[in-house]
Amino acid sequence: MGLKSVVACLHHDPARVARLHEGDDLGLSAEEAEWLRAVPRAAWGVDPMRARRVAGALIEEFPQAAAIIGRDRVMEFCASAAFLSVCEGEGNLASAFACWADAGPTARIEGAMAQARRGGAAVLEVPASVMSAWHSRVDGGLAERVAQGARLPRPAEEGETIWVIAESRGGNVSVAELPEALARLVIYGLEGRTRADLVEEARRLGAEDDAEVVVDELLELGTVRAR
């Protein structure tokens, strides 16, 4: 981990600050570690704006999940091991938050949308009741209200599950239901397959005579890409 990543971690990880001041150079050169020790120890933990900015961005991208766990809990993400892993270069903030937030399938839906926003599609299986609740709660003003402290109850997880796909088209991310066989074909295709492999998988999943048409449509839409 380079000096800048260590600096980012120190702002959020008191244990690492303690190690630094106990003599651990944190994998840096002795000169760089001395630069860090020259900073007043308390300075690492005092900038409230940083956690607020991160929380604000997460609330914008995960408004319903944030409403379920609450603004104050979102603020705690910056002190979590999941966040520090991102500081260390593993994954991205959105996927780490989606896993960390205890908001059930709602976080997974918004995590899939976040993934689609960053390019590519995301497919997942969720309770139909949660998907329905999610659609009914879509509201452009929700993030602003959550930032002010508004909450939403956790939606019921009951009944059958459905498959949904999150995709970005023209800058807009949408979530739509799709049949299980098609969902499994997209998941198979997300890993990068040849067209022939995709057609064969489509046939195995039951597309039979339509297999080539289905695959070509997915390729044309960019939902999957041929290797």
Q: Which residues of the chain form contacts with other proteins (CB under 8 A)?
A: 3-5, 7-8, 10-11, 35-36, 38-40, 42-44, 46-50, 53-54, 56-58, 60-61, 86-87, 89-90, 92-94, 117-118, 144, 148, 171
Cβ distance 128 to 159 under 8 Å?
yes
Q: What is the smallest separation between the CB atom of 136 and other proteins, expressed in angstroms?
A: 23
By C-beta, is 89 or 159 nearer to other proteins?
A: 89
Phi, psi of 29 (to 5 degrees): -70, 160
By C-beta, is 119 or 153 nearer to other proteins?
A: 119
- Quick one: DSSP state of residue 80? S
By C-beta, is 8 or 199 nearer to other proteins?
A: 8
Helix (H, G, I), strand (E, B) or coil at 176: strand
Distances, alpha carbon 20 to alpha carbons 7, 24, 74, 203, in Å = 11, 5, 27, 58
Q: What is the smallest separation between the CB atom of 144 and other proteins, expressed in angstroms?
A: 7
Angstrom distance (rounded) from CA 43 to CA 205: 58
By C-beta, is 118 or 135 nearer to other proteins?
A: 118
Q: What is the smallest separation between the CB atom of 166 and other proteins, expressed in angstroms?
A: 15
Q: What is the smallest separation between the CB atom of 222 and other proteins, expressed in angstroms?
A: 15
By C-beta, is 35 or 210 nearer to other proteins?
A: 35
For residue 93, the surrounding DSSP H or E stretch is: helix 93-100
By C-beta, is 2 or 179 nearer to other proteins?
A: 2
By C-beta, is 35 or 179 nearer to other proteins?
A: 35
Q: Counting beta carbons within 10 angstroms of the beta carbon of residue 22, is it exposed (0 to 12), middle (13 to 18) or buried (19 or more)?
A: exposed
Q: What is the smallest separation between the CB atom of 30 and other proteins, expressed in angstroms?
A: 14
Q: What is the smallest separation between the CB atom of 44 and other proteins, expressed in angstroms?
A: 5
Radius of gyration (Cα) for the chain, nearest Å?
A: 22
Q: What is the smallest separation between the CB atom of 25 and other proteins, expressed in angstroms?
A: 14
Residue 199's contacts (CB-CB under 8 Å, 6 or more residues apart) are 211, 212, 215
Helix segments in 127-206, DSSP class H: 128-137, 142-147, 180-190, 195-204
